[in-house]
Amino acid sequence: MTLSTPKMIDDAMTALADPDTPVEDRAAVYGLLYEIQRRIHRALGTYLRHQSTPKTELTEHLIRNGEELGPLYVVWESFDVAWPVNDPANWDDAGVQEQLEIFRQVSADYIRHVPDHLEIDTAALGAGLVDNDPVARQLHTECKDRGWRTEGGRRAALKVREVKP
């Protein structure tokens, strides 16, 4: 099955992004698209917790059957992430600071110097992971292995691949 965005929605999105569209028209288009989005979220049960919704049912089906359906797929996302390496207790820990200095030699983009100590730049590291940077991946793995990054667990999240026209 090939999915395509309905022409009306494509036209609305084009008009919204076009700075030459009068602001009154852009406001109306924004309102229309927002209402469509709200109805979609309501139909999917996106913001409902602790009950079965179409979104949770699709996620469970994909997990149970280990498959993808069209553009839908499941990823496992971490929650309750903490970075103990950046805690004040490690600012004076010579061992941690020494290791960070060593890692900084090969991954300077992901370790920042804050007056008097080094710490992991978690935002930059996250961006590096999104960009699939091998240095970011290795540093992330090291941080997890050393207990410098912890997480409360992982949960399934339903994702949709962008459909190209």
Q: What is the DSSP string of 13-79?
A: HHHHH-TTS-HHHHHHHHHHHHHHHHHHHHHHTTT--SS--HHHHHHHHHHHHT--BTTEEEEEEEE
pLDDT in tens, 110-157: 999 998 999 999 999 999 999 999 999 999 999 999 999 999 999 999
What are residue 24's phi and psi, to 5 degrees?
-65, -40
Question: Quick one: pLDDT at residue 6?
Answer: 84
Quote the CA–CA distance of 109 and 48 in Å, as a whole number: 39
**Cα-based angle 48, 35, 20 (whole degrees, multiple of 5):** 140
pLDDT in tens, 55-99: 889 999 999 998 888 889 999 999 999 999 999 999 999 999 999
Helix axes 23-44, 7-17, angle to 10 degrees: 130
pTM above 0.75, yes or no: no
**Domain layout of the chain by residue ranges:** 1-44, 84-149
Cα 13 to the center of its chain, rounded Å: 23
> Would you place residue 165 in the very low, low, confident or very high pLDDT band (cuts 50, 70, 90)?
low
| H or E segment and range at residue 118 | strand 117-120
CA-to-CA dists, residue 104 to 18, 85, 92, 133, angstroms: 44, 14, 17, 15
